Structure 1
Amino acid sequence: MQQAPTISVVITTYNRPDALTAVVEACFLQDDKNFEIIIADDGSGANTRDAIDRLRARSPVPLKHVWQPDDGFRAAMARNRGTLAATGDYIIFLDGDCIPQRDFIARHRALARPGFLVSGSRILLSPALTEKTLAEHLDLPALGFFDKLRYRLRGDMNKLLQLLLRWPDLGRVHRKFSWRRIKSCNLAVWRADLLRVNGFDESFVGWGHEDSDLVVRLLHAGVRRKDGAFATEVLHLWHREAKRDDETSNRKVVERRVLDKTTQATRGLREHQGEAA
């Protein structure tokens, strides 16, 4: 019988303490509380640090804060540092604006299998529902069917069935690589597999495709991809899109690596060896 994995949730954040608080509080309310939280902070200021201190004081699970100086978009580095601070053998990457449902950990645990990663799914929220959620501390995962239906019909959520249905672990394996729905805002990977490919590649400049690059390299290393839809959905709070000046060049790097079977990050986990946790 397969032993249940020890789980670390690595939550990336940058100067959005209200959203981060909503996400972490949803983690506190998980059905399965056998996990730890690592907040991977890409250079946030004092407001975020104070919010994390308040959360840590009442956290029902271990909670760590890993911070790095603000030097531009460095989410790959933040996730790598979060991974190195984690103690779990299974890492779930979650963004600090993606609110998990109550069974998020339990569903990821049920889908976890050696040799596979799980690319999770998300439901996009409107600016209006996002503002209401944060201003009124709305508990989105606790909403009833008719509330969810109302928000869907008004266009405040872009999906509904994924919130209502749960699909078993059948037909989830991707046999061919696809760019579709690869999002590090909800992505689960075995720690050993991350170490094997040297983690996220910090040589990517600016926004875009460092998550796709990781999955491509894991695929080349023999790790297969499972789809987490209808099981692991998170509620993605609205935000303005980041500048995408480097998206095209980043995409070209990934396309090249698809062809040349690259497995190793140019600059990744190994480059942080010896750093203080």
Structure 2
Amino acid sequence: MNAEISLIITTYNWPEALDAVLRSVSNQQLLPSEVVIADDGSRSETRDLISKWQHKAPFAVKHIWQEDDGFQAARIRNKAAAAASGDYLIFLDGDCLLRPDFIKRHQKLATPGYFVAGNRALLTESFTTELLAEQIEAECWPAKRFKEDQINRTWPLRYIPLGPLRKRNSQKWQGVKSCNLGVWKTDLIKANGLDEAFIGWGYEDSDLVIRLLRNNVCRLNGRLATTVLHLWHKEHDRSQEQENWQRLQDVINSDKKKAVQGIDQYL
């Protein structure tokens, strides 16, 4: 289904990775209407990089920045989504490279009443270092070109139509990640976006998906069509994981449909 697509890319102080992601966006067979950088408090190096892309990109680039106050991914994604002009939003992380047909596949899968849950393949530490240093566009490679010491698995890079099978498990919230998630903006607003009570790493995307499902927005499987290449990095600080996990359990055991601290405050 045709849609005006806004690509929302979350980033924090890793301009080399963001540059690689934006290069992969510029190589898309179908360009987005715009890219919105959701910047969770990066320093000036990231701002300078984004400024360069704003002058040279074949698509509009918006930079939404907030002060560095710890891991506040839910808040910056809400701000970026509110600023997005597209009617269909694709959320990405600033360390996920797009295959050339990524946006085209997402647009083809975009269906009223559904969100699209994509997945990822993980690049190794050594290959990530090499890729960034030499600006290797590995996202353009066929699956068979990758070696075992470069990627954890290649089968997700293959395309299989799947058809009606994509709507199996349409009520399953587990396993959906906001590093590769397509959703209609009206549906996101219906659930009031991400819940900013989730601070630090963990489960803000699961909470969003549960509330989307309760608002009659179903899951459509984007695997074997919209896989991204995830650059290796050290694990984020997970000191607040247990608190966020308990917050998620509270949501599961309730009938909550809307975030209390959500996107409505920025609209």
Shared fold, TM over 0.5: yes
Q: Distance in 2 between matches of 1:177 and 1:161?
A: 22
Secondary structure at 2:34 match in 1: strand
Letter in 2 for 1:222: N
Q: Which of 77, 82, 85 is 1:84 aligned to?
A: 82
Verify the 8 A CA contact 1:111 1:169 in the aligned structure 2. no
Matched, 1:179 2:177: no
Q: Distance in 2 between matches of 1:145 and 1:208?
A: 30
| 1:146 Cα deviation after fit | 4.3
Alignment RMSD (CA, Å):
1.3
Segment drifting more, 230-239 vs 48-57 = 48-57
Verify the 8 A CA contact 1:115 1:223 in the aligned structure 2. yes
Question: CA-to-partner distance for each residue in 1:215-257, whole Å, 9 max, x for gaps?
Answer: 0011111110111100000000001111111112212222221
Matched, 1:55 2:53: yes
Q: How many residues matched?
A: 266
- TM-score where L is the length of structure 1: 0.93
Verify the 8 A CA contact 2:143 2:154 in the aligned structure 1. no
Q: Distance in 1 between matches of 2:220 and 2:78?
A: 22
Structure 2: runs of 5 or more not aligned: none
Q: How does 1:117-156 map to 2 (within 5 A)?
A: 117-148=115-146, 151=147, 153-154=148-149, 156=150
Structure 1: runs of 5 or more not aligned: none
Letter in 2 for 1:16: W
Match of 1:239? 233
Match of 2:260? 266
Q: Distance in 1 between matches of 2:100 and 2:51?
A: 23
| 1:164 Cα deviation after fit | 2.7
Q: Which of 198, 202, 207 is 2:196 aligned to?
A: 202
| 1:177 Cα deviation after fit | 2.2
Structure 1 runs (4+) deviating above 6 angstroms are none
Verify the 8 A CA contact 1:124 1:236 in the aligned structure 2. yes
Verify the 8 A CA contact 1:216 1:254 in the aligned structure 2. no
Q: Which of 61, 81, 94 is 2:92 aligned to?
A: 94
Q: Distance in 1 between matches of 2:105 and 2:142?
A: 20
Q: Distance in 2 between matches of 1:234 and 1:188?
A: 13
- TM-score where L is the length of structure 2: 0.96
Q: Distance in 2 between matches of 1:178 and 1:198?
A: 17
Verify the 8 A CA contact 1:32 1:105 in the aligned structure 2. yes
Letter in 1 for 2:70: G
Match of 2:220? 226
Q: Distance in 2 between matches of 1:34 and 1:240?
A: 30
Secondary structure at 2:202 match in 1: coil
Q: Distance in 2 between matches of 1:127 and 1:19?
A: 13
Q: Which of 9, 15, 25 is 1:17 aligned to?
A: 15
Pair 1:144–1:111, CA change in 2 (3 A): closer
Secondary structure at 1:76 match in 2: helix
Q: Identity of paired residues, percent?
A: 42
Letter in 2 for 1:69: E
Letter in 1 for 2:18: L
Question: CA-to-partner distance for each residue in 1:244-276, whole Å, 9 max, x for gaps?
Answer: 111122122222212312111120111224xxx
